[in-house]
Structure 1
Amino acid sequence: MMAIPNDLSLFNATSSPNSTTEVHATASLEALGGNCTDWHPVPMTTVIPAIYSIICVLGTLANALAVCVLAHASASRRTVANTFMLNLCVSDLLFLLSLPLWAVYYSWGYHWPFGQVACKICGALHNLNLYASIFFITCMSMDRYLAIVHPLRSQIARDPKRAQLLCILVWVLACACTAPTVVLRNTHYLKSLGVEACVILYPQHVWYLTLTWMKILLAFLLPLFIIAGCYCAIGRHLLADSSLMKMQNPSHPPKMPSSKSRDSHEDGSKPERPPTPSVRSSHSGGRPLEGRGLERVLWTVAAVVVAFFICWFPFHCVTFIDFLNSEGWLDSCWVHWTIQNLTPLTLCLGFSNSALNPVLYCFIGNHFRGRLGGLCKGLSACLKARGEEHSQKRGSFSTRLSSFSRKLSDLKDLAIVETSGNA
């Protein structure tokens, strides 16, 4: 059973020894145009480039700011979480820099004018980000779980040097998952469209099945299971501590003694007030986490899981539908329309996660915003100092020029006087 190709999408294209890619493409287009007249295609040449441009601009700006702040952090701020954040932002930034080429690819009607090497590099950056970003998000979720739920037992394991070694392992694993598609991705001429497309050419159907399931399992299901488990445990832990705090702080405090006895004991000493219990978290530096602080953490936790699920679930659903179609289990107009049109659109949604990551993990945090403000103030002060230095140099030059002009005028007057005396 040969796979129906998804050769018009950015991610997949199939080819088998017994049939060429353009034959499959023609079959899919005929199914859409001849038998499915009610299913109108989405204008990809205008919609996709516009979405890619927005994601590229916003994501590049956000990730570049995050990289600058995290890279210039002091040694005391180079924590495990910041190490994972920095690598995540670098992964997203590398991929976002390749989005303009993919935007041109769609705007030119799936024609790749940049050559074979650029096709492989951009495809590699896409797959590398697909795996690396999700792996780093998973590592950050596990680190938050250890820091909040097991703050004492995890102090030895949560070491920045170990986090750096783990980041190297994540990059190696992501490169290993990316290697097959780098080898298989190439430029291929499609006669049905008359374009030189950048596609993945599977030599056998088993390659398509293996890489598809590896993508679904390693890049979505397994990370989603770990992330959801970690944040569910964090939520239960914070809610349990919050309930304990409310029990220890009843809404109706006991009756206070009289003013005289409240101010002092019989011996004149002042009574000691019992400490107010509070929920503490190691990720916040041991400060009380209660009220709005607890609500803020819970909302951040929920936003992380929801954003990850919303961004990547539709794309993996379409990938699974493509798999069912390749096996002959699904074959109808809506299936062909979904594969051909929703694969690029759901990819856009997945790519938007690269722009959301620095917002969710960096800009929400008070410490990060404070460091960003400090960096901006330092940059402003540096520019102001340079401007003052430049103005001082200009003033010094003007002073020297006026002094030189006065000396020159004095020399002229002296020469006139000497000339008059000789006469």
Structure 2
Amino acid sequence: MAVPNDSLSFNSTISPYTSKNSENASVCTDWPPVPMTTIIPSIYSIICVLGIIANTLAVSVLAHTSASRRTVANTFMLNLCVSDLLFLLSLPLWAVYYSQGYSWLFGRVACKISGSLHNLNLYASIFFITCMSVDRYLALVHPLRSQSVRDLKRAKLMCILVWVLALACTAPTIALRDTRYIEEYDVEACVISYPDLTWYRSLAWMKILLGFLLPMIIISCCYCAIGRHFLAGPGLISLRRPPHSGSAFKSSRSQDSCGKPERPSTTCVNPSSSGSKPMEGRGLERVLWTVAAVVLAFFLCWFPFHCVTFIDILKSYNWLDSCWARWAVQNLTPLSLCLGFSNSAINPVLYCFIGNHFRGRLGALSKGLCVRLKAREEDHSQKRGSFSTRLSSFSRKLSDLKDLAIVEASAHA
């Protein structure tokens, strides 16, 4: 059964080829289209290169962290980087797709996988960021009571749950995404074929509610509670380096339960660890602001896309029908997706490369790699030198034998 054009989505929200848009094209002549076939592939290429490099380095460092230094926050961040990396590997296909005028050249299976990875990343990213925010809340507001809850085993189980939930949210896209020949424009497009308008509205609302609005409410509540905790009580002091005591003798003798000079009890808990290791106030502040930056980056990157999706939902109900709305949906959907996709390249930079601890581990990993390469080169050089020595010795023996043969021949003569 043929699916009407209005039910096709070429990327995520709306099709650039709909009969309704064609009928109203003459009415909206004052709204020029954006040249997608040149702008989008260029942006996608930049995001892809930078994102793959950053996420690969982040995954390498986080995966090679020793068992004693692995933390709950790092577990969530590792899974977030893996999600971003999986999606970024499919981005070159979408760049070619736009450059070819929405002509899909890679077959039906690649169409399903690439479209599914986009949706999977959209859900998995915000779910993992939500987990990180809840972890910050428990570590900073309830440091003692949360010690039994915040362990690596539970964090890994939560990651599995997040992947399962993200896959469940992506399942409709896997089923509906397919290649379809559009005769009017002579292209084999990779589209989402919605059975009817109700399917489109339901999945669009799910994307806005589960993929953005509900997680942002949870994240906002967590950070409001953290801010209120530190502004209202002794937690504010824990984010500052404690002043020196008036008596040097008292400072050297007064010890807290962590075995360090006396300070507020909240600094005894490392919020990025699964246990109760000591952590300086500036360490707490850095962790808090870094995770807050990840949340803010996700909001700024994905908010425009969900706004455009909301406009398209209103259009589907005929509550909004004007030239600017049609132009916004057709032209701003790919551009807002570019902004959303850039979040995959920004995440590892914000969370990993800004932190001194991560840069130190990256440097140690690079140093270790250089040492191994140097050792391998020296070993190769040593073997080559040994071979050269043996060859030289063999050549000398041949020369001696040759000289001996000449002498014997002279004697017989």
**Alignment TM-score > 0.5, same fold:** yes
Question: Does 1:204 find its partner at 2:190?
Answer: no
Question: Does 1:401 find its partner at 2:394?
Answer: no
Gap change, CA 1:393 and 1:207, over 3 Å in 2: same
Matches within 5 A, 1:23-422: 25-32=18-25, 34-239=26-231, 240-241=233-234, 243-244=236-237, 277=263, 280=267, 281-283=269-271, 285-290=277-282, 296-297=286-287, 299-422=289-412
- Output the amino acid matched with 2:270: S
| Superposed CA RMSD | 2.7
Query: What's the CA shift string for 1:252-309, capped at 9, x where partnerless?
Result: x9xx8xxxxx89xxxxxx666665535615226422305xx56545543442332121
Structure 2 Cα separation of the partners of residues 288 and 107 of structure 1: 51
Match of 1:18 in 2: none
Q: Is the 8 A contact 1:142 1:227 kept in 2?
A: yes
Structure 1 Cα separation of the partners of residues 132 and 405 of structure 2: 83
Query: What's the CA shift string for 1:52-104, capped at 9, x where partnerless?
Result: 11111111111111111111111112221111111111111110000000000
Q: Is the 8 A contact 2:137 2:225 kept in 1?
A: yes
Structure 1 Cα separation of the partners of residues 240 and 270 of structure 2: 22
Gap change, CA 1:133 and 1:246, over 3 Å in 2: closer
Structure 2 Cα separation of the partners of residues 69 and 6 of structure 1: 44
Structure 2 Cα separation of the partners of residues 84 and 369 of structure 1: 18
Query: What's the CA shift string for 1:192-217, capped at 9, x where partnerless?
Result: 32111111111111111110111000
Calculate percent identity across the aligned residue pairs.
69
Q: Is the 8 A contact 1:9 1:344 kept in 2?
A: no
Gap change, CA 1:386 and 1:333, over 3 Å in 2: same
Gap change, CA 1:75 and 1:367, over 3 Å in 2: same
Gap change, CA 1:358 and 1:246, over 3 Å in 2: closer
Structure 1 Cα separation of the partners of residues 29 and 239 of structure 2: 63
How far did residue 124 of structure 1 move?
0.9
Q: Is the 8 A contact 1:12 1:199 kept in 2?
A: no
Question: After alignment, is 301-310 or 374-383 more displaced?
Answer: 301-310
- Output the amino acid matched with 2:11: L
Query: What's the CA shift string for 1:146-180, capped at 9, x where partnerless?
Result: 11111110111111111111111111111111111
TM-score normalised by L of structure 1: 0.87
Gap change, CA 1:363 and 1:210, over 3 Å in 2: same
How far did residue 119 of structure 1 move?
0.6
Q: Is the 8 A contact 1:8 1:340 kept in 2?
A: no
Aligned residues: 397
Q: Is the 8 A contact 1:13 1:200 kept in 2?
A: no
Structure 2 Cα separation of the partners of residues 245 and 119 of structure 1: 51
Gap change, CA 1:249 and 1:368, over 3 Å in 2: closer
Gap change, CA 1:26 and 1:4, over 3 Å in 2: closer
- Output the amino acid matched with 1:116: R
Structure 2 Cα separation of the partners of residues 248 and 395 of structure 1: 57
How far did residue 249 of structure 1 move?
7.5
Q: Is the 8 A contact 2:251 2:262 kept in 1?
A: no
- Output the amino acid matched with 2:271: H
Structure 2 Cα separation of the partners of residues 247 and 407 of structure 1: 77
Q: 5+ residue gaps in structure 2?
A: 255-260
Q: Is the 8 A contact 1:28 1:336 kept in 2?
A: yes
Q: Is the 8 A contact 2:44 2:91 kept in 1?
A: yes
Gap change, CA 1:247 and 1:385, over 3 Å in 2: closer
How far did residue 245 of structure 1 move?
6.6
Q: Is the 8 A contact 1:12 1:200 kept in 2?
A: no
TM-score normalised by L of structure 2: 0.89
Match of 2:257 in 1: none
Match of 2:258 in 1: none
Gap change, CA 1:234 and 1:57, over 3 Å in 2: same
Structure 2 Cα separation of the partners of residues 43 and 206 of structure 1: 31
Q: Is the 8 A contact 2:126 2:215 kept in 1?
A: yes
Gap change, CA 1:300 and 1:225, over 3 Å in 2: same
Structure 1 Cα separation of the partners of residues 367 and 239 of structure 2: 41
Q: 5+ residue gaps in structure 1?
A: 15-20, 257-261, 264-269
Gap change, CA 1:359 and 1:234, over 3 Å in 2: farther
Match of 1:10 in 2: 11
Structure 1 Cα separation of the partners of residues 305 and 6 of structure 2: 16
Structure 2 Cα separation of the partners of residues 9 and 149 of structure 1: 45
Q: Give the secondary-structure state (helix, strand or coil) at the position aligned to 2:178.
A: strand
- Output the amino acid matched with 1:326: S
